[in-house]
């Protein structure tokens, strides 16, 4: 016969702790969650953050010199894809920012030709 562990409500545990004279160290607003299997949790985290998998951002970073040219690639860096469609690019100065801005339509076409990157429709260029 399998024993099941019964859990008391938070109020009941506070009353029991007070009755026994034992301090209740549990924070008042803390919610108890069921314990999860570590293997399932690690699989969920690896899928969420694409650990060990190639992402569209990785493909763009690998091809960045080809996409914008070596001169602009040395002064710019693709960071991430926001909302699934907008690529954030950090640039070193305003001249590089303007040059990428003027070529953005061509760059977006080249990015869309990369497998897995067809959802990118615009560039967000930030100096910094």
pLDDT tens digits along 52-94: 888 899 999 999 999 999 999 999 999 999 988 999 999 999 9
Query: What whole-number distance in Å separates Cα of residue 88 and Cα of residue 119?
Result: 14
Same domain for 76 and 43, yes or no, is no
- What pLDDT, in 10s, does the model give residues 107-123? 999 999 999 899 999 99
Query: Is 4 a domain residue?
Result: no
CATH number of 101's domain: 3.30.300
**Rounded to the nearest 10 degrees, what angle do helices 56-68 and 104-112 cross at?**
130
**Domain carrying residue 38:** 10-48
Q: Token digits for 118? A: 């067809």
Query: Is 3 a domain residue?
Result: no
Query: Is 91 a domain residue?
Result: yes
Same domain for 40 and 67, yes or no, is no
């Amino acid at each position: 016969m399998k024993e099941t562990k019964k859990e008391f409500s938070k109020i009941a545990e506070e009353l029991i702790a007070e009755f026994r004279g034992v301090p209740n160290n549990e924070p008042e607003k803390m919610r108890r969650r069921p314990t999860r299997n570590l293997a399932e949790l690690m699989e969920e985290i690896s899928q969420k953050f694409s650990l060990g998998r190639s992402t569209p951002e990785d493909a763009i970073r690998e091809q960045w010199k080809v996409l914008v040219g070596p001169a602009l690639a040395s002064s710019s860096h693709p960071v991430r894809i926001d909302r699934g469609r907008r690529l954030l690019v950090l640039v070193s100065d305003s001249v590089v920012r303007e040059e990428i801005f003027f070529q953005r339509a061509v760059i977006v076409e080249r990015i869309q030709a990369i497998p897995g990157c067809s959802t990118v429709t615009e560039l967000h260029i930030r100096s910094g």
